[in-house]
Homo-oligomer: A and B are copies of this chain.
Amino acid sequence: MPEPVDVNTCKSCLYRSFLFSSLDPHDLIRVNLSKKEMEYHQGEIVVRQGDPIREFMYLKTGLLKISQDIGTYGNQIIGIAKPLDFIGLLSVFSEDHYQYSITAIEPSSLCHIPLELMKEIIIKDGPFGLKILGKMSEMNEKVLQNRLQINRRNLRGRIAYILLQFSQEIYKNEKFTLPVSRKEIGELINMRTENVIRILSEFRKDNIIEISGKEIVVLDTQRLQQISEFG
C-alpha cells in the first residue's frame, strides 16, 4: 500500500518543481492544503489503466513505468518517467479514464493534486495555464520522438539506445542498476526477451558493457553511441 507522507509544505516541495513558481500565494496555499504526498514501494501500482482520472500527479523522486495492456499481445511499455517529466500530463485533460497504467519501478514519491483544483487554477490563472500547456507539449513531444527513435533502429541499435538512455538521461552514470527485467526491456523497445538477453551478452563479450544480473557498467559509451546510431 502507498503511504501518505506529511513532511513538506508546498513551499519547499514546489520550490524544487518549477511548475508552481509563479502561482498566486492564495492558490499556493490551496494546493498545499489539498495535495497528498504518497510514497510507493518498488513494484507498486500508482494508477491502473481504466481508473477514473481525479488527480494531477507529479513525480518528486523515484522512477515510474508507463504501460498499456494490449490484450493478447501482452504489454506495451510506453516509456519511463523520471522526476520533472510531467508524466501526469499524459491524457489528463482529454480523457476521464487512464489510458495507461503507471507503476513505480523504484521507490517513488508522488504528489497528488485534485484535478478539479488544477483546472480551476488554470481557468483563473492564465499564465499558469500557458505554462502547463508548454510542459504538456514538451512531454508529449518527447514521448513521441522516443517511440519514433526506437522504432527506426534494429535490435542492436535499440539496446544501445536504451542503455545510453539509462546511463545518460536517467542515472547520469556509467554504472547503474537496471530498474526493469529483461522482459520489460523487450516490452519497452519492442523486441523479444530472448533477443534482449542475446544482445546484452553480445555487448558483454565485445567489452562494451559489464553485466552482473541487473548491474550494468557501460565501458565504451562511444561504441554504444555508434551502435545506437548505425546499428
Q: A residues engaging B (CB < 8 A)? A: 68, 70, 73, 76, 78, 89-95, 99, 119, 122-127, 129-130, 132-138, 140-141, 143-145, 147-148, 151-152, 190
Contact = CB atoms under 8 A, between A and B. Distances in A.
Contact of A141 (B70, B94, B122): B94
A150 to B, nearest CB: 9
A90 B143 CA distance: 12
B126 A130 contact: no
Contacts of A68: 148
Contacts of A152: 70, 73, 76, 190
Nearest to A133: B93
A35 to B, nearest CB: 20
Lowest 5 CB-CB distances: which A-B pairs, in order? A123-B126, A94-B137, A129-B129, A140-B140, A94-B138
A68 B134 CA distance: 21
A127 to B, nearest CB: 6
Given A76-B148, A122-B126, A190-B151, A91 B141 contact: yes
Contacts of A94: 134-135, 137-138, 141
Given A94-B134, A126-B126, A136-B137, 16 more contacts: A73-B152, A76-B148, A76-B152, A90-B137, A91-B137, A92-B137, A93-B133, A122-B133, A129-B129, A129-B133, A132-B133, A133-B136, A137-B140, A140-B144, A144-B144, A151-B190
Nearest to A124: B126
Nearest to A119: B130
Contacts of A126: 122-126, 129
Contact of A93 (B119, B134, B143, B145): B134
